[in-house]
Amino acid sequence: MNRKALRIVLLVALAASAVLLLTGCAPGDGTATAAHPASFLWGIWHGWIAPVTLVIGLFNHEIRVYEVANTGWWYDFGFYLAIVGGFGGLAFFRRRGGRGKDRD
């Protein structure tokens, strides 16, 4: 197996492992209850894994993108911060890096 093929296999294996790891902390998995609602930090985490849980939610209707049993405004704030800061920041970084490559 050449280096390029090995790199692709390792990348696919890493991505599959990451998806399996992330499913354990998805919203709607029963971790958060009315007695112990999801808080700010869970909001950040659920915002970061929102794309993964969106895909999983297509096949498992118990998994949601957003945790219903939450603390309210603080959970919403964390979720929003992760969505905008995490993915918006990555898009800006990639776009910025792409411009530098075009100039060289």
Report the pLDDT value the prediction gives residue 98, as an integer from 0 to 100: 53
Bigger pLDDT: 104 or 86? 86
Find the domain containing 82 and state its range. 3-103
pTM: 0.63
Domain count, the chain: 1
Give the pLDDT band (50/70/90) at residue 89: low
Q: What is the largest CA-CA distance in the chain?
A: 57
For range 8-26, the mean pLDDT: 78
Cα 69 to Cα 58: distance, rounded to the nearest angstrom: 20
Mean pLDDT, the chain, integer: 79
39: left (phi over 0), alpha (psi -120 to 50) or beta: beta
The string of pLDDT tens digits covering residues 44-65 is: 888 888 888 888 888 888 888 8
